Amino acid sequence: MTVAVGSPAPDFTLPTDQGELSLAALKGHPVVVYFYPKDDTSGCTREAIGFSCLADEFAKAGTTVIGISPDTVEKHGKFRVKHKLTVALGSDPDHKVAECYGAWGEKSLYGKKYFGIIRSTFLIGPDGTVARTWPKVKVEGHAEEVLAAAKAL
């Protein structure tokens, strides 16, 4: 179950490769939280690069972008450097934050079922409520769509 539009965004504090990051500290400004399965995989890399390429536009809209995966802070650091990423990358190894947002669940690959991150994005308004959700994200064009929604807040 994902968090609903209009509901309070679940608060979190996570380590990043650049220090600790707290959603509560960002209240008063729009925030994009996107969940992705794994650093340095094809789709996840394209998604992170997409958000990073639009970082200046998100900043002009007063919006912070945070990517969250179960990967370690160390892996996030290597991922950031390798692909020149500018978005914050939160480490959620026990997937507690992902579970709060409904971004952790059963998946299937080649008929094998397993649990993992469900690629999804949440736009949180300045008041701390969820303004928009994108469950089961398709990477192509996604960052642009999220930017348009952030600008419309």
Catalytic residues: 44
Q: Using the Cα atoms of residue 95, residue 96, residue 101 and residue 104 in order, give the sign of their dihedral.
A: positive
Distance CA 57, CA 123 (A): 15
Q: Helix, strand, or coil here: 51?
A: helix
How many CB atoms lie under 10 A from the CB of residue 119?
Answer: 22
